[in-house]
Chains A and B, each alone.
Chain A
Amino acid sequence: MQKRTFLKAVFATALFSAGFSGLAHADVLANVQKAGVLRVAVPQDFPPFGTVGPDLKPRGYDIDVANLIGRELGVKVELIPVSSTNRIPYLTTGKADLVISSLGKNPDREKVIDFSIAYAPFFNGVFGPADSTVKGAADTAGKTLGVTRGSVEDLEFTKIAPPTVNIKRYEDNNATISAYLSGQVQLIATGNVVAAAVNERTKIRRLDTKFLIKNSPCYVGVNKGEAALLAKVNEVIAKLKKSGDLNQVSQRWLQAPLPADL
C-alpha cells in the first residue's frame, strides 16, 4: 500500500515537472528576442576556450562566439560561467539558453540535448613545421615523431603508424614539446589546443597541422524541442563561417585558421 502511494507520488512529480519544464522551454528564441538577453553558459577554466581575463571578465574562443551570436541576433549576451560537469544541467534546467562550452558530441549527450553545427575545431593530430610535406600517417615513415606516452594520441597513432616511423615517447606534454622545439623530433602528435598554446608562447619552431588522428569538434548545445532556436543558431554559425568572423576568432585563440571542412 505504502509502495503504491510512493509510486503515485513519483509519477505525479514526474508529470508535474515534465509539464513545468515544457512550459519553461516554450520557444526560447521568442523569449530571448522579447527579453533582449541571450543567456550563454561558457567555460572559465579551459583556455583558450574560456578563462578569466586580467579584468576578471571571462574571455576566450567560446566567449567570442557567444558575443558574435548575440550580435547576429541583435540581443545582449549574459555570460554564465559553468564547469565541464554542470554545463549540460545548466541548459536542461533552463538556467541558460545556449551552452557554448567546448562541448563535444556523443550519443549519450545527444539523448539529452540537441547540437548545432560545429563552431570550433578540437582534435588530436600530427603537427610539424610548415615546410614538412607529411599529409597522412603513411608519410611519417622514416621520420621521428614525439608523443606523450600513454596519451590518447599515443594509443591512436600507434594503431595507424607505419612500421618505420621512429616514435619517441616522452613523459609529459612539456617534454614532448621541448623535444620538438629543440629539434630532437621532426613531428609531434598532440592536441590542437596544446599546439595553439605553444604557437602563442614561442616562435622558435611553429607547429602546423599535418593531419588529424582523432576529431571531436565543438558544438553549441541547445535544449531538445527548440527547433526554431537551433535553426537560428545554425544559420548564424554558417553566416559567421562565411563572413570570416569565426576564422578571426580561430586565429585569435587557436593561432590557426578554421579548418575548411569544419
Chain B
Amino acid sequence: MSYVFDFPAVFEHTDALLAGTGRTLALTAIGAVAGIALGIVGAVCRAWRLAPFDRLFAVYVELIRNTPFLVQLFFIFFGLPAIGVQMNEWQAAILAVIINLGAYSTEIIRAGIEATPKGQIEAAQSLALNRLQTFRHVVLPPALLKVWPALCSQVVIVMLGTSVCSQIAAEELTFAANFIQSRNFRAFETYFIVTAIYFLLAIGIRQLMMQIGRRLIARRP
C-alpha cells in the first residue's frame, strides 16, 4: 500500500463541511418537531378510531412505510412539478422528511397510546376532565414516555436518511462530502471525516432527545 493520506486537503473545505452539518441539523430539527407532531395527530386518529381520519392515516402510513425515502423525495421534487406543484430542493427535502417521520412516528406513538390502561382514562373522566384534558394530561405523557427510546432511534434514522437529499442538490452534509470528493479526489479522507461527523451527530441527537424526554415529558429535573 503506497497511498499517502492527505487530510488537510479536506480541511481546506471546512466551510462547506460546517455549512453542510448545519443544514443537516436544521433539516433534522424541523423534520423531527413537525414529524412527531404529525405522528401524535395520526396516532390519536388511529388509536381512537376517529372516522374518517383513521382510515386516511392508515393508508398514509402504509404508503410511506412501504416505499423508499429516496423515491418519495424524487416524486416530490421531480414528479410534482408536472402537476404544477413546484418546490425548491429545501422545501422538497423538509416536506419529505416530515411526511416520512410522520408515518413512522404515527405507528410508534399509537403503540404507546394503546398501551395506556383503560382504567386511567375512566379515572380521568370520573374526575370530570374533558376529552382534550384527558389526552393532554393522562394519555399523551405516559404514552410518549413509553415509546420515547423508539422515537429517538427513528429521529436518528431520519437524520442519517437526510443524506439522500444530496441527490436533489440540497447542500447538506453528504452533498458537501460528495462535492469535496469531486474536487480533491480524496475519497478516503473525505468520507472518513464525514462518517465521523455523522457518528457524533447521531450520538448528540440521541443524548439531547433523552434529556428532552426526561425533563419535558417525565418532568424529572
Contacts and interface: CB of A to CB of B under 8 A. Distances in A.
A146 interface: yes
Contacts, number: 39
Given A168-B169, A175-B168, A179-B169, A184 B88 contact: yes
A23 B81 CA distance: 65
Nearest to A178: B78
B178 to A, nearest CB: 6
Interface residues of A, number: 14
Interface string A147-177: 0011000100000000000001111000100
B182 interface: yes
Given A178-B78, A182-B78, A184-B81, A171 B167 contact: yes
B166 A184 contact: no
A169 B169 contact: yes
Interface in B141-178: 166-169, 175, 178
A183 interface: yes
Nearest to B82: A182
Contacts of A169: 169, 175, 179
A196 B79 CA distance: 23
The B interface is mostly helix, strand or loop, or mixed, namely helix
Contacts of B81: 182-184
Interface in A165-221: 168-171, 175, 178-179, 182-184
B167 A184 contact: no
A182 B182 CA distance: 25
Interface of A: 146, 149-150, 154, 168-171, 175, 178-179, 182-184
15 contacts: A149-B179, A150-B183, A168-B89, A169-B179, A170-B167, A171-B166, A175-B167, A175-B169, A179-B78, A182-B78, A184-B81, A184-B86, A184-B88, A184-B89, A184-B168
